[in-house]
Homo-oligomer: A and B are copies of this chain.
């Protein structure tokens, strides 16, 4: 009756092992989890049966009882971003150390997908969640938090100090970049960024740019703000296009400051094609210090985010929350620094 019509191969279960070994299923469970003493001979029988039938306990069924899978989920918008992947690397590092498994859910900057994937992970499979959102979706995050799911939000300030976050101070980081550029006498600084509509983080960087101008007594010029609508998926290309277009208008800045290194790469290319020398004619400054910035021509001067550290700390925090440890500081702000390379020098006087 319950014949081969059933789906898939019936995976071997604890019951099979029990009958193969001629013991009770609780005994099998006990030898697998070493949860109480089992006589050596019985243990051997069980182990043999497991070996013979190539048995692997079903983590999910276990999770259903135990309410823990020792897996954590990471929601991120874009796997191909070097920034994300460096943070992931940091997460992974402590996950491994603490014997958690990290599962990635990638949303491709799709808002609905973000919700779908997060929910799918949360629905009892994972013990906790690290959230890189591509959006300002406080309500959704708040909902998760309220369901008592251990969560930490990375790279986005939330306004709600209750929810654990690990971030940098984006505004003052960019402000520092402007300061740096000003020390090289730049007064015409063109800012290239993602569009700021959806993202606190991006907006804060823009505010940092504005604050930096003000602080250094530079008048704001709307012509010197280039925003890509591209939602990050092809940032380098869009940095290229934006600047290529911009250059045609003939109104030149002395420096480009970008909200991400990837934009800078495209800008470098565009400037080269249009016959400008970097940094002699125009300076270019990035933000992130991703790996590749050590290999551009010229080498990219940029603001370093502590990406791996961000991942380490986020995961540490999450584990503490999961394991119910006392968490002293749940809103962590990481330091940044400027990496001086070749792409910035003194402004050409005009």
Q: Taking the nearest CB of chain B, how far is it from the CB of A123, in angstroms?
A: 4
Question: What count of chain A residues pass the 8 Å CB interface test?
Answer: 63
> Which B residues are CB-close (under 8 A) to A265?
292, 295
Tell me the chain A residues, 1-42 only, with Cβ under 8 Å from chain B: 7-9, 11
Contact with A89, one of B80, B147, B148 (Cβ below 8 angstroms) = B80
> Which B residues are CB-close (under 8 A) to A106?
88, 92, 102, 104
A247, CB-defined interface residue at 8 Å? no
A195, CB-defined interface residue at 8 Å? no
Tell me the chain A residues, 114-162 only, with Cβ under 8 Å from chain B: 116-117, 119-125, 143, 146-148
Q: A64-B61, A106-B102, A147-B54 are in contact. Are A120 and B268 (CB under 8 A)?
A: no
Q: A85-B79, A124-B58 are in contact. Are A291 and B105 (CB under 8 A)?
A: no
A8 to B126, CA, bound (A): 13
Most chain B beta-carbon neighbours within 10 Å: one of A54, A124, A272: A124
Contact across chains for B236 and A295 when beta carbons are under 8 A apart: yes
A228, CB-defined interface residue at 8 Å? no
A266, CB-defined interface residue at 8 Å? yes
> Which B residues are CB-close (under 8 A) to A11?
124, 147
Contact across chains for A125 and B295 when beta carbons are under 8 A apart: no
Tell me the chain A residues, 233-269 only, with Cβ under 8 Å from chain B: 234, 236-237, 240, 265-266, 268-269
5 pairs, A vs B, C-beta closer than 8 Å: A11-B124, A60-B63, A80-B291, A103-B121, A292-B292
Interface residues of A (CB under 8 A from B): 7-9, 11, 54, 56-61, 63-64, 67-69, 71, 79-80, 82, 85-86, 88-89, 92, 96, 101-106, 108, 110, 113, 116-117, 119-125, 143, 146-148, 234, 236-237, 240, 265-266, 268-269, 272, 291-292, 294-297
Given contacts A80-B88, A85-B85, 20 further A-B contacts (CB under 8 A): A8-B67, A9-B147, A54-B146, A56-B122, A56-B123, A58-B64, A59-B123, A60-B60, A60-B64, A79-B89, A88-B106, A89-B108, A101-B116, A103-B104, A103-B121, A104-B104, A237-B291, A265-B295, A268-B297, A269-B297
Q: Which 3 A-B pairs have the closest CB atoms?
A: A80-B85, A104-B104, A9-B148
